[in-house]
Amino acid sequence: MSLEEYLKGKGGSVRREGNQEWIDLDDYSFYIEGDTLYIPIPLPTGKEKLDDLVGMGIKYARASRISQGIGSPLSYEIKGEEVIVYRKFSSREELEQKLIKALESIEGLRYYI
């Protein structure tokens, strides 16, 4: 099963922006560029309201579970008001297999729902 087929079955979608394929799941998005998966995590600025912080916490939990599911080695960089966690895979096939497995493990968890 391809990543796009899997996502369609779960109510997600893929959109393309230049070289990036953005994966949208509910209110959380991350992207693929080539054989690398990028997972953005918002950083607090001190200007957020309580509702913003709750939303950030949900995004953090989702990013954390995806990161755990795809395994190591993970790298990260800070870009503006986000930490970007990323992992380069040896092939697109490996990336899709690991990502689908990670998303399946999230599905059963209350963090994600």
> What amino acid is encoded at 2 in this protein?
S
Query: Is the pTM above the cut of 0.75?
Result: yes
113 pLDDT above the threshold of 80: no
pLDDT digit string, tens, across residues 56-95: 888 888 899 899 999 999 999 999 999 999 999 999 999 9
Going from the N-terminus, what domains does the chain have, and what CATH number goes with each? Answer: 3-107 (3.30.1460)
Under 8 Å between Cβ of 91 and 105: no
Prior bond of 42 cis (ω within 30°): no
- CA angle 57/58/60 to nearest 5° reads 60
pLDDT of res. 109: 54
Q: What local confidence, expressed as pLDDT, does residue 25 receive?
A: 85
